[in-house]
Amino acid sequence: MARVHSPDADSDLQIRLTKRESEVLGLVIEGKSNKEVASELYCSKRTVDFHIARIYDKLNVSNRIQAVRRAALLGLLQATPDHMD
């Protein structure tokens, strides 16, 4: 039986977010605005906007919800505890 090849299958394996992009996405998942993300990461809102645009481009999405869903589907989200004991 032949394996059906999806053109997106190979590109999905190559998607990598930088550490900073992962941090930004993690804060977006928490519901923070770009301004709040910038404040928490000690950078400008413009820098966060840039990271968000790169994340959207890498994941081939156009909004936050799609980005979170796609990142979860690809296993790019790491569970982190809110509080360390």
Domain range list for the chain: 17-73
pLDDT score, position 6: 44
Q: Are residues 4 and 18 in contact, defined by beta-carbon separation less than 8 angstroms?
A: no
Mean of pLDDT values over 11-19: 80
pTM: 0.77
What sign does the dihedral 64-68-74-79 (CA atoms) show? positive
Q: What is the pLDDT of residues 19-49, one digit of tens each?
A: 999 999 999 999 999 999 999 999 999 999 9
| Statement: 17-73 belongs to CATH 1.10.1740.10 | no
Q: Are residues 58 and 15 in contact, defined by beta-carbon separation less than 8 angstroms?
A: yes
Is the pLDDT higher at 40 or at 76?
Answer: 40
In this predicted structure, the answer to whether residue 80 has a pLDDT above a threshold of 90 is no
When computed from its CA atoms, the radius of gyration of the chain, rounded to whole angstroms, is: 15
Determine how many CB atoms are found less than 10 A away from the CB of residue 68. Answer: 18
In this predicted structure, the answer to whether residue 85 has a pLDDT above a threshold of 60 is no
